[in-house]
Each structure stands twice: as structure tokens, then as C-alpha cells.
Chain A
Amino acid sequence: MDPIVINSILAMGGLGLGLGAALSVAAKVFYVYVDPKIGEVADCLPGANCGGCGYAGCSDCAAAMVAGEAAPNACKAGGDSIIQAVAAVLGVSAGAAEREIAKIFCRGTHTSAERKFLYKGIQDCRAATLVAGGDKTCTYGCLGLGTCVTNCPFDALSMGENGLPVVNEKFCTGCGTCASVCPRSIPKIVKESQQTAALCCSHDVGKIVKAICDAGCLGCGLCKKACPEKAIEIDKFLSVVDPEKCVGCGDCYEKCPTGAIQSLLA
């Protein structure tokens, strides 16, 4: 036979054999134990890789669940049936997964919040913040160009006539996309049962807030004094409600001079 044929067969066969041997040796020597449960949990998850859980994807979340770093109900997009399936694989009780929804933490409408200039550029909040920090005088407030609305994967947001986005709680899954695209993180994901919150993000001192917005939290602390459950803290001139302690009595609503702190249960 022609030596070229023999040489080719020997060379390629040898190469294949060598690589195959190297691979199988490496697979033994560098064997990494992967918990078979991770695969089972990953099969239960939706597989949409939405990232709503805070992990890189469904398989990453499954690994965290098996390792005990994430709760079995960490998958927010999947709903109750998936949580039960995951819990069954892990052999733990699921615990009631509470639904989470987005709330708009700004009340600075067209009429109540002052504007520095007239912005006529690209109609996107992320673009607007690049121009002198946005057209609103308040550097924490909603710019109202609706980046959250266009990016909501579930069509749960719409732009209200007053210049603030409105959450349709029926469609909201609490995925947090709106919060991550908003340059000022105005939409915040809260537990559905949270009763009270100060709908403002401004950490400016009360004097400044008062000058530029009629509806912002001044950080005066009247709500903190009024709260019988000590559920309210003032964090850098912004009132923050601890949802675990709040009983929804409503004592703070009347005391607030601007009405920023209010009931979330419409």
C-alpha cells in the first residue's frame, strides 16, 4: 500500500488515540463531583434564565439552592408549582412564597416637582441622566421618560398622565427589570403585604426637598415619633419603614407634612 495512506492512518489514529487517552485520564484525575441534585433542581426551574433570582441563570440558581445559599422559593418568575417541585427535590418544606411586586418610590409629578430645563433629547431616562444629571431639579426623582415602561417584560407598567409610571399589580411578577434599568432605581421590589412606605428616594436635606418638590420626604422624623411599633428609621433624611414591624395602623400617614409616607394597599 502507498506509504501516504499508511502514514495518514497512523498519524490521525495516533492523534485521536492520544487525545482520547489524555481526555479520559484528565476526566479521572481532574474529576469534580457535581451534586446530581443540581441537575434535578435545574430541570424543575423554568429555564428562561431571566435573572430575577439574582443569579446568572437557572442552573446557577439551582446550584445555589442545593448548596443552601438560596431559598427553595428563590425563583420568583416560576410561581407556586415550581417552588413545590424544587422543595420536593430538596426534601424541605417550601414555606409560603410571598409574592413581590414593584412600587414606584417617587411622587414628583409634573406639577409637584420642579424642573431645571426643558429636555428634548432621546426619550430614555438613561440618556436624559447624561445631560446635566437629568432635567429634574431633584437628583433622586423619577425622570418620567418611561424607560421602565418600555423594558418591562410583562407589560405591567404604563406611563401615567402625571408623569410617573403606574404599576399594574395584576401583571407584575416582581422580576426587578424595571429597578435595574432605571438610572435612579425608583421602582423598588417590595413584598405584596408591605403596608406602609415613604414613596420617595431623596436623601437631600429637608430644606432642599421642600424647595424643589411638594411631595418628597423631608426626613423630619415626625413619622418615626408617631409610630407605636418603632418600625420607622430615618436614613440620611429619608424615612424607611421596616415591613416586618409595621402593622399598618396609619398613625404616621396623618403626621407626614408632605404625605410622602402612605399606605401601599390601595
Chain B
Amino acid sequence: MEDYFMLIISAIFVNNILLIKFLGNCPFIGVSSSMDSAKGMAAACIFVNVLASSMCWVFQKFVLEPLSIEYIQTLAFILIIAGLVQLVEIILQKVAPPLYRALGIYLPLITTNCMIFGVAVLNIRQDYTFMQAFVYSIATAVGFSMALILLAGIRERFIVGKIPKLMDGFPIGLITAGMMGLSFYGLVGIGK
């Protein structure tokens, strides 16, 4: 139990996927300009991340490893993630239209999000059991959501700030993200 607690704290704060590991930075800058889109992206990410990394784990353990063709992992994982996101999109549109309207435009974006693939690969590299992998993927996605929503909260305030013209938009967003990363670095060393 304590192990899982450490795993969660580590994935959310200490080894935050966005700010420390620098995975999935395109949506971090891309959809953080307004709070609404950040929330939608965060929810969609948690959903897809958990699904995709569990599926990838199962495929790795029951197909790739028994056949000793782990070298093909990258290709297989990308195929699984892309297929899965498509499947989820089709099913959501029919089964839960309100959820589809809220997450719909973010789902295709997530297909190419490096965080999803990164977590799937990290699960394997760190030799997690299925349960650990499941918890780890929830926790990383929550960490991603937290960083994304924090940045969106800061960037929403930029509209009233005095920002030099050449720094406006992405440059100031990147600098802010860098500063957030720096402050999260203060937590490195807690846990394992």
C-alpha cells in the first residue's frame, strides 16, 4: 500500500511527466491558453492514458515477450494507441454524446501525444506489475492535468498583464513553463 502511495506522489509531484520528464509538451503549450480547453484536455488525457497503457502492458506481456520480439515494441504500441483512441471516439459518440462533445476535439490530438506512449514504455522499462502500471498511468495523467491546469490559470491572467510584444503568446508561455519546471525541481529527491 505504501509503495502505491509513493508511486502516486512520485508520479504527480516529484517526477511530473510534463515539468520534470518533459513528455507531452505540445498540448502543455498548445491548449493551456484557456481554462476550458485545459480542463477538457486533462480529462481526455487521464481517460486515454489509463486505457492505452493498460492495453500496451497486456500486449507486451502476453504477445511480445513470449514471442521474444520486444524490438517491435514502439511500432506495436503506437498502433495500439492510435487504434484505441479511434475506437473510443466512435463508441463515445454513440454511447455518451455529452462526454463526446466535451472531449471529442481533444481525442485525436491525444493519439500523437508523446506522454501516452512514454508512459506505456516507462511501465515496461520499470518492470511494473499490471496493478502498478495501472496506478502509475493514472498518477502521471493526474500530474499532467495538474501542470496543464496550473499553467492555464497563469496564462489566463496574461491578458491583463503588460507583456512586451515580442514575448507575447508562446514565448512567455514557454518561459512560464520553464519556471514552473524549475520550482518542481525543488521536490526532486523526495521518495525514490
Residues of A whose CB lies within 8 Å of any CB of B are: 4, 7-8, 11-12, 15-16, 19-20, 22-23, 26-27, 29-32, 122, 124, 126-127, 130
Contacts and interface: CB of A to CB of B under 8 A. Distances in A.
B167 interface: no
B68 to A, nearest CB: 7
B75 interface: yes
A32 to B, nearest CB: 5
A8 B66 CA distance: 12
Contacts of B90: 23, 26-27, 30
Contacts of B131: none
A57 to B, nearest CB: 9
Contacts of A20: 83
B87 A22 contact: yes
Interface stretch (B14-22, B112-120, B122-130, B154-162): B154-162
Nearest to B83: A19
A20 B83 CA distance: 8
Interface in B63-77: 63-64, 67-69, 72, 75-76
B161 A30 contact: no
Interface of B: 59, 63-64, 67-69, 72, 75-76, 79-80, 83-84, 86-87, 90-91, 93-95, 159-162
28 contacts: A4-B68, A7-B69, A8-B67, A11-B67, A11-B76, A12-B76, A12-B79, A15-B59, A15-B63, A15-B76, A15-B79, A16-B79, A19-B79, A19-B83, A19-B84, A19-B87, A23-B83, A23-B90, A26-B90, A29-B94, A30-B94, A32-B93, A32-B94, A122-B160, A122-B161, A124-B159, A126-B160, A127-B161
A8 B72 CA distance: 7
Contacts of A19: 79-80, 83-84, 87
Contacts of B162: 122
A30 B160 contact: no
B68 A30 contact: no
Nearest to A14: B63
A124 B59 contact: no
A4 B159 contact: no
A7 B67 contact: yes
A211 B83 CA distance: 68
Contact of B86 (A7, A23, A124): A23
A12 B79 CA distance: 9
A19 B90 CA distance: 13
Contacts of A122: 160-162
B79 A11 contact: no
A8 B86 contact: no
Contacts of A30: 90-91, 93-95
